[in-house]
Structure 1
């Protein structure tokens, strides 16, 4: 059923920020992130760790396994006869007003902000607030955008967002293993089949394999960023530029922009420096 006004569509998700759940994620990446061994335990989530929580469990799924109610054909009448072969996590921004404490129940309020078309693709942007209902306080604001497309998957080797990368600093490496990608979908209750069903990913969406989740790569890059800066991050923007296949090793790179006081971190292919996977801009804490 197509709703008359997608801006009236809201979801409410309550969740407990379990320390065990966060530990399960840390165990997934700990072997490749030695600085996690030295990090002192905290009673708060770092920015982006909320990706592990507040994930909807709707039973209404599209053929690709993802939520049917946020597909363009469900949101606007003009898309009712249009189907899209693929959907991907494109970009987002996060502002942390207050840290989310561990082992507390919070509420995520979520709604569709806008639906726009550009060059044959359709972008669905979603706004999310995580609030402490007991205190009536907003703790975190997030804006995320999904892209719906009929284009055939092809790597974008040269990305205009980042030029002259030769002089940038490499601060680490990370390898995306196949089972880590599958386990991350389990941790985050992510039903999207391109992250765990190779047959679907290859035969129906024409990838070479399953691909890593946008939140997974963003969480990993943010962990490197926080380790480098040495302080909690409260404000960031990110953009996914290429999909990441299992077995891919990425360099974690840094560029400091002194003009606007920001750190720019990105993942690039360790073999092909022109291939950028993910870009993260952090406002200096």
Structure 2
């Protein structure tokens, strides 16, 4: 179990609003929109605690189950019990909830569930589970089709550029090289491009569905998404998806 307390300031929220070109609410009255807590109470490990891929190897929750494994964000669920208000301190309590080894068709996998609870004014405000998968270092990706299905009028297309991915990494203090180091992503992990963050896809789904309200999002990342493939979001009656330019779905979510 780890704890981190800090005063929530408005700057990260306004930075995300500018990054995605979405409105920022009254942060002191209404609190942060769903999933925007990911910009706050962040782990800031020492440079010496980062592995070759830029991901922390110790001092965080969860700790990678073994050296040299590559991490994938598989999904999670977030429940909001009240507004997380900017201008006040908040505390994040983090723990590893479960670790399970399995053997998939691509080899050994370790499934880890991390739980994070954020309290403010002594009350539970955000309750979150993050589902992570760790695998060995053997590249197993591609090929991927060329984009060919343009967005429709009820979809939101986000221009995924290296600049956007780098800025989102900076906002979330994420040094994982697969999101900004194209040579590393291609030559070491075998990806055909820069990988779009799982949390960025989840945030896009929450934003697409924001107008409908909701305090609980359950989401899954079902396929990798790369910078050259586009990011197209759709929300319909509480169900939301991310797809690439070919129509291939990469993330799904349900907002309640």
Which interval holds the TM-score relative to the shorter structure?
0.7 to 0.9
CA distance in 2, matches of 1:112, 1:40: 32
Change (3 A) 1:114 1:255: same
Shift of 1:42: 4.2
TM-score for the superposition, normalised by structure 2: 0.84
The 5-angstrom pairing of residues 117-132 of structure 1 reads 117-118=101-102, 119=104, 120-132=108-120
- Give the alignment partner of residue 61 of structure 1, picking from 50, 69, 73: 50
In structure 2, what is the equivalent of residue 194 of structure 1? Answer: 178
Deviation track 1:213-259 (CA, whole Å, cap 9, x = no partner) reads: 111121112111113x1x3x211101111222223323323444xxx
CA distance in 1, matches of 2:174, 2:182: 15
- Give the alignment partner of residue 221 of structure 1, picking from 192, 205, 210: 205
CA distance in 2, matches of 1:277, 1:206: 18
Is residue 205–residue 234 contact of structure 2 (8 Å, CA) maintained in 1?
no
Q: Any stretches of 5+ residues in structure 1 without a counterpart?
A: 1-9, 74-81, 158-167, 257-262
TM-score for the superposition, normalised by structure 1: 0.76
CA distance in 2, matches of 1:243, 1:175: 17
Query: Does residue 276 of structure 1 match 2:243?
Result: no
Change (3 A) 1:17 1:172: same
The 5-angstrom pairing of residues 195-210 of structure 1 reads 195-210=179-194
In structure 1, what is the equivalent of residue 147 of structure 2? Answer: none
CA distance in 2, matches of 1:46, 1:156: 36
In structure 2, what is the equivalent of residue 176 of structure 1? Answer: 160
In structure 2, what is the equivalent of residue 113 of structure 1? Answer: 97
CA distance in 2, matches of 1:143, 1:155: 29
Please give the secondary structure, in 1, of the residue aligned with 2:19.
helix
Q: CA RMSD in A?
A: 2.2
Shift of 1:169: 8.8
Shift of 1:156: 9.7
Query: Does residue 51 of structure 1 match 2:38?
Result: yes
Deviation track 1:91-127 (CA, whole Å, cap 9, x = no partner) reads: 1100111110012211101011111122221111100
Larger radius of gyration: 1
CA distance in 1, matches of 2:123, 2:140: 42
CA distance in 2, matches of 1:178, 1:23: 20
Shift of 1:212: 1.5
Is residue 155–residue 242 contact of structure 1 (8 Å, CA) maintained in 2?
no
Shift of 1:13: 1.6
Question: What is the number of equivalent residue pairs in this alignment?
Answer: 236
- Give the alignment partner of residue 152 of structure 1, picking from 118, 121, 139: 139
Please give the secondary structure, in 2, of the residue aligned with 1:72.
coil
* Bigger proportion of residues as helix: 1
Query: Does residue 247 of structure 1 match 2:228?
Result: yes
Is residue 156–residue 242 contact of structure 1 (8 Å, CA) maintained in 2?
no
